[in-house]
Chain A
Amino acid sequence: MPKRRSKYFRRKTLIGYLFAAPWLLGMSLFVLGPIIATLFLSFTTYDMINPPRWIGLVNYKILFSLDPSFWKALGNTFYYMFGSVFLKVFIGLFFAILLSNALRGMRIFRTIYFLPVVLPSIPVMFLWMMMFNPKSGLINQILGFFGVEGPLWLNSPVWSKPAMILMSLWGIGGIIVIFLAGLQDIPEYLYEAAELDGANRVQKFWRITVPMLMPVIFFNIVTGLIGASQVFAESYIMTGGGPLESTTFVNLKIYLLAFKDVKMGYASAMAWVMFMILVPMTILLFKIAKKWMNY
């Protein structure tokens, strides 16, 4: 009897593995394997023609001491990540709360705010390049109506990143919809109880809405930061990384190094450094979030 039982379980395990097989293959080939491979390559010099040559920590030494443009790219990336994500979360929450009012016509507003999310990114970037044109662009012409002289946007090293952050706000609909779902899950009786205790709108927001929404806020921040850390096409298409490298993000640098200069080893070192920054950051965020959620 025990023998038959174990045979039964082995069969079950086999079936389970067979169903999961595509992903076990995909995860090994396209996720876990590449992480290790990048680490290995980062200690080599590799041009895709000659076999990789082990050079130890040389790539990292260059990266940390001889390549200030990497630090600049890292700074740009973090500027963009935090700027766009925190604005998106704040503004997204604001709109979600407005949209969660049970009033007529909210569906239409939701439709409008979500629409830019599905638009293809490349046409959207061309569109915003036009809008950001300092002279003929829509934004500065509208500012001009009010007597404000608009900045040079993508042509200015100071304004290029804010311009891209502004553009990213157009795609806020995804965050709004996730917040709306979170708001719906807050039980109504919490608000009713608070009302009985004489809580006003502001108190209800800070004491009920925000704490109850913390997991969703946190979800939006983490996925937002990870997503924004991958910013690439915006700079590749709209600015080419300029002016004065103000929009050269880490991913653009990695792309140029790996696929234009074919310095696969050095590009891997850069990718790995980025990885080693983002992983602890994500873990830290999870830890902070745990603290928030407990009270």
Chain B
Amino acid sequence: MRSQQSMKNIRIFTIYGVLAFFSIMYLIPLFWMISTSLKPNEQVMSIPMKWFPNPPQWKNYVDAVKSFPFLRYAGNTLFLTAMNVIGNMFTASLVAYSFSKLRWRGRDTLFYITIATMFIPGQVLIIPIYILFTHLGWVNTYLPLIVPAFCGGGAFNIFLLRQFFVSIPDELLESARIDGASELKIFFKVILPLSRPALFTVALFTIVFTWNDFFGPLIYLHDPSKWTLAIGLRSFQQQYSTDWNLLMAASTLTALPLIVLYFVAQEKMMRGFTLRTGIK
């Protein structure tokens, strides 16, 4: 018995050991980013390396923000993110409602097609979409990065919300219908208030995705005043290719909103991620 107990202790000790070791490995890059962002430039590439900046150059953050239009890019990114959140949440939930709670011909076929579209690689789509937006005169405006969000909010979000709506009991909707409520009213007064957790998940994913998007802004936004943080950082790196400390300061500032969001909404974000499998 005693040896079984000690075996168990060894096992637990090993689990903690492995997890702790890799946790440190996972945190080191992040630590390195912040550490570099506070170093004087000559310590950035120093050999042997310096784990800690000495002394910490808080000024790097001021210099980084000053050396490219950081605030403008942050504003642009924020604007695009907000528009995508609104568009995705609103239209994906309308469509998901139709796919889950309304009965109509061809509904299930269209839903399967929707699922199938998730597996289509983006590269086959992007060229005609780009040509379409060029003909509409939308290149170098925000429209290509906003309008698609208002056209159904994407297959993945529809899928995620539909999974959630299915779990809302039909009796609830039927009694509202008997009381003479229109579908639109049921949607706004019954479905949406009950679906806050799922809507929240859609919003979180949209924020992370839009904030990080590089390809869209790269091909559609040519005018530097319209750039997002991702594109702005890229040009900053090209211009000041030696100032890795400033680049890391700007990078840290770009990542900061998402890190804060993560720590605030952690549980919801993880739950949303697990919803993604659709396996309950």
Q: Which residues of A contact B (CB under 8 A)?
A: 12-13, 15-20, 22-27, 29-35, 37-38, 41, 48, 95, 98-99, 101, 103, 105, 109-116, 118-124, 126-128, 130-131, 133, 135-136, 138, 141, 170, 174, 177-178, 180-182, 185, 215-216, 219, 222, 226, 229-230, 232-233, 237, 250-251, 254-255, 258-259, 264, 267-268, 271-272, 274-275, 278-279, 282
Contacts and interface: CB of A to CB of B under 8 A. Distances in A.
B62 to A, nearest CB: 18
B193 interface: no
B18 A98 contact: yes
Contacts of B154: 26
Contacts of A25: 151-152
A259 B122 contact: no
Interface of B: 12, 15-16, 18-20, 22-23, 26-30, 32-33, 36, 44-49, 91-92, 94-95, 97-99, 102-105, 107, 110, 113-114, 117, 119-132, 134, 148, 150-155, 158, 183, 187, 208, 211-212, 214-215, 219, 229-230, 233-234, 237, 244, 247-248, 250-252, 254-255, 258-259, 261-262, 266, 269-270, 273-274, 276-277, 279-280
Interface centre among B19, B27, B148, B247 (most CB of A within 10 A): B19
Contact of A127 (B29, B95, B150): B29
Contact of A130 (B32, B183, B252): B32
6 contacts: A23-B92, A25-B152, A111-B266, A120-B258, A127-B33, A230-B123
A185 B110 CA distance: 29
Given A141-B48, A219-B277, A275-B124, A237 B95 contact: no
A13 B95 contact: no
Nearest to B107: A16
Counting chain B CB atoms within 10 Å of each CB, the highest count among A109, A116, A119, A170 belongs to A119
A222 B127 contact: no
Contact of B128 (A12, A17, A34): A34
A127 B251 contact: yes
Given A37-B128, A274-B123, 15 more contacts: A27-B114, A31-B155, A115-B26, A120-B229, A122-B214, A122-B230, A126-B248, A130-B36, A135-B45, A219-B279, A222-B119, A226-B121, A274-B121, A279-B119, A282-B119
Contacts of A22: 91, 94-95, 150-153
User: Chain A interface secondary structure, helix, strand, loop or mixed?
Assistant: helix
Contacts of B266: 111, 114
Nearest to B207: A118
A247 B90 CA distance: 39
Nearest to A276: B124
A233 B231 CA distance: 11
Contacts of B152: 22-27
B249 to A, nearest CB: 10
Given A95-B22, A121-B212, A35 B123 contact: no
Nearest to B132: A29
